[in-house]
């Protein structure tokens, strides 16, 4: 619910893996627009009724501390694919939880490495989608670019393989 989030104009939130900025709050609605790539979104905005915000899968960004912990626990840690939690990627990504998205990314990365750096088209599309989504949130938390955050994620994934060897 919006009252629990205590949103104000300028706040950054995540909805379905996309980082959005609150640009207007009215009595019964909150308006959001993409924080990154605002030109490519062609002025696209979202307006959600305040009572529906929790149903709209809107959440605050994770804290820097939580982000660091998650990256160390999931991305940078050497782990075998069979030790990753089982998931349905669509369900995991629709939950709008960074933890789930990072597990999807890690699991698909490990599968990609097992298959000589290739994935089936559907899994490859999911991998690219989750990589972009997680990179956006990391970039927003660390006040950097999504491209730099994406490189950070890929470097962490590669480093986890080296420590496993």
pLDDT in tens, 117-153: 788 888 899 999 999 999 999 999 999 999 999 999 9
What's the whole-model pTM score?
A: 0.86
**3 state SS of 87:** coil
Question: In whole angstroms, what is the distance from residue 103 CA to residue 20 CA?
Answer: 22
Instruction: Mark whether 76 and 127 lie in a shared domain.
Output: yes
- Model confidence pLDDT, tens digit, residues 56-75: 678 999 999 999 999 999 99
Q: Which residue has the higher pLDDT, 153 or 79?
A: 153
Question: In whole angstroms, what is the distance from residue 39 CA to residue 128 CA?
Answer: 21
Question: In whole angstroms, what is the distance from residue 35 CA to residue 21 CA?
Answer: 5
Mean pLDDT for the chain overall: 86
Confidence at residue 135, expressed as pLDDT on a 0 to 100 scale: 96
Final residue belonging to a domain, choices 24, 40, 60: 60
Instruction: Mark whether 48 and 86 lie in a shared domain.
Output: no
What range does the domain containing 7 cover?
Answer: 2-60
How would you list the strands of the sheet with 46-49, edge to edge? 46-49, 29-34, 18-25, 12-15, 58-60
CA Rg value for the chain = 17
Instruction: Mark whether 39 and 110 lie in a shared domain.
Output: no
- How many domains would you assign to the chain? 2
């Amino acid at each position: 619910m919006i009252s629990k989030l205590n949103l104000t104009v300028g706040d950054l939130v995540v909805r379905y893996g996309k980082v959005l900025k609150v640009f207007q709050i009215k009595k019964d609605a909150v308006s959001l627009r993409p924080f990154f790539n605002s030109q490519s979104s062609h002025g696209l905005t979202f307006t959600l009724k305040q009572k529906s915000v929790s149903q709209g899968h809107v959440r605050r960004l994770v804290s820097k501390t939580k982000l660091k912990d998650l990256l160390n626990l999931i991305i940078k840690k050497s782990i075998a694919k069979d030790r990753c939690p089982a998931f349905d990627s669509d369900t995991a990504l629709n939950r709008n939880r960074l933890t789930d998205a990072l597990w999807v990314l890690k699991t698909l990365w490990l599968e990609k490495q097992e298959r000589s750096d290739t994935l089936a088209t559907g899994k490859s599309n999911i991998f690219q989608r989750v990589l972009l989504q997680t990179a956006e949130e990391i970039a927003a938390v660390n006040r950097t670019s999504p491209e730099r955050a994406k490189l950070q994620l890929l470097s962490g994934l590669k480093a986890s393989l080296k420590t496993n060897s």
